[in-house]
Structure 1
Amino acid sequence: MKEDFLHYLWKFKKFDTLNLKTFNGEEITIVTVGQYLELAGPDFFNAQITIANQKWAGNVEIHLKSSDWYVHHHEQDSGYENVILHVVWEHDTEVFRSNNSEIPVLELKKYVDKATLENYQSLMAPKSWIFCEKQINKIDGFVFKNWQERLFFERLERKAKSIFDLLEQTNHDWEAVLFCLLAKNFGLNTNGELFFKMAVNIPFSVLRKESFEIENLEALIFGTAGLLDSDKEDTYFKDLKFRYFYLIHKYQLEQGGQAPVQFFKHRPDNFPTIRLSQLANLYHSQVHLFSKISVLNSLKSSYDLFQVSASEYWLNHYQFDKESPKKRKSLSKSFIDLIVINTILPLQFAFAKSKGEEISEDLIRLLEEVSPEKNAIIDKFKSFGVLAASAFDTQSLLQLKMEYCNAGKCLECAVGMELLKKN
């Protein structure tokens, strides 16, 4: 039994919904199951459920056992405070919110019939994740290593194309390109595109001129990102908003206008306010950043260059108008690793390519210093005996899965060709 099966049952209501009761015997009526987001946090967002004639709106969390709540440390995460129903296959312990109120539990196994279980296993069981999953770990190491290098540079070529397109839009200003790429990186998956649009909308010449005063930089970045659109009593917020309107008037810039950045599903250290302040402080503390990044050749030098924290205001804030316990918000080594993977290496590759230089070995050497990425694809390869010792391995495996395995291009893959020879 896997948790994703329970997600399927809940999402499509593949159980007896007419006679539902909580484990304590209270009647349940499902109005809406909620939105399945598949991100960090509760499994289903904004569900509507009636329990004992009381209608509730909030989130639904799903586990195999109730005790998994504590195994996953949800009791330490405020993002789970709004869970209105705990759906489990087996109820083995009570779960409480921080105010000591018990979260209602639906034990699902009582309401799922045998036919549904059998039908789901038959319907949803995939033929295979990749065609060579039982043989890939038997490929000769030399062959696989060479194929990894090819995959890695294919991935860099794709990223370089986007960089060259952006270079055309910025009048061949590598510093401006770097700012846009870093902004996207700082936004992670959720806010990456929004941060990128923010960076594109700020003329880099203006950013250069205002980089000597951190408050002006934050005002420009926060305002363009739409974080100064509301009205707040916070003194720092008011100061940034005043500076922002002064700057857009001074430089005749267009005002904001983009979709709001997202706080939902983020841990506080990844809140857009914190990441944008760190980005502003990076450009406040580092002059001619591209020239420094273009020659980085070790992970340690990358860590040294990106030793940056959010501004003093954010020591005891994650959002405007809301104080929090004091904590310095610095870039972690794991976050800098992402910058190396997604910004520094692609930019170095594209820059060297534009000059006709060959730096392949240097790029591989640097990436082999970076810890392997952690995600579902890498975990799946690991289950087949394909281990990743560094980010070089994980980047090549991601390229393999996305561009070859998913597309069924086995006859264009070195692994597939090698297996054909053996057969």
Structure 2
Amino acid sequence: MQTSLAAFIKDSAVGQEAEAILRTCVHCGFCTATCPTYQLLGDELDGPRGRIYLIKNLLEGGEAGARTRLHLDRCLSCRSCETTCPSAVDYHRLLDIGREVLEARSPRPLADRTRRHVLRETLARGGVFASALTLARWAKPLLPASVASKIPPRDTSVPAWPARGTSARRMLVLAGCVQPHLTPRTNRAAARVFARLGIELFEAPGAGCCGAVRYHLDAPAAARDDMRRLIDCWWPWVARDEVEAIVVTASGCAAHVKEYGKILAGDPAYAAKAARVAALARDVSEVLADEREALAALLAEARRAMPASVPARVRRIAFHSPCTLQHGQKLGGVVESLLLAAGYELSPVADSHLCCGSSGAYSLLQPALSTRLRADKLAALSVGGPELIATANVGCQNHLAAAATIPVHHWVELLAEVICP
């Protein structure tokens, strides 16, 4: 793709980065075939190729207004197009650049800015979110059905975190901002599984949001502050080489933490630290996949421990692979293989590459499109008659559970169910 960037960005580092990405696009249009919003709306500008043209025009000094913002806002950042693209266009990075430039050249209307500010300050602050969630649960009967459905009941039977053992193997795990309050079982289930493998999983005190919320809600500077804060929380253990990995159980957060090195590359005080943290960051499925032999032994032990009088029961589940797992981290099939090894039967899911419509705060900012995507996803997940749905990201889990007729769990809970009696 030929480019002629405007003077305001042409000679900057970010301009050169954007130009390099633009020049890799060959206009083939393969990306439109797997773009969820293009499939729903049928508008070229609501597909990756059309959005690339809008961003190119923006960076060349062209229109920077409501039309460009409408189509960029509708993008889920699901990165399905990147999986499909034969030219390896770094679309999500170009989109981040385009959104940041658009905001600088043409700030959003006050009402829109206020809404996003409230979302940022509520979702990214664990304490604030916990208070808001408590209030919302109390007021749930008074809220509109579309809002009330997003508020899960309080889980009163969360298992305890396993007691610290004598294992020499230790790994940090990201607590996150909303996950401890929406799905408190997830990290505890992971910790129980890891304990059975002889690995101590622990959260660093004060470690909260990874920065993804603010990064994707028009506050990249504040997001970088979140990232630096999290690096500082983890650094005492990382600097002393006391942990093998930084485990992340929410695939959206894992995809973001793995990019710390790129995002903070220009920060002289944090570039090296960010690169090291990014190198240590691993989705929980990656770590457990590396422990397959030990897991297999635990699974065999669990089968032997089952009384002969109790017939083995295979649970049929549908797995929704979050976009951040299969497209962002390129880990498609890893969780599925672990669930199969644990004895679960996976029901078929058509168009499994498509987004469920959660995508961070997307379901709150684009409710109509998000609801349509969720309905399509739940229909696909239900075809095989599963008993429950499993997924790998807190946002997807909460979004699907709000409309599902069967339970929705994080997949690591199902693994813990088998090997952690």
TM-score (norm 1): 0.22
Q: Could you say which structure has the greater relative contact order, defined with CA pairs below 8 angstroms and 6 or more residues apart?
A: 2
Rg comparison, structure with higher value: 1
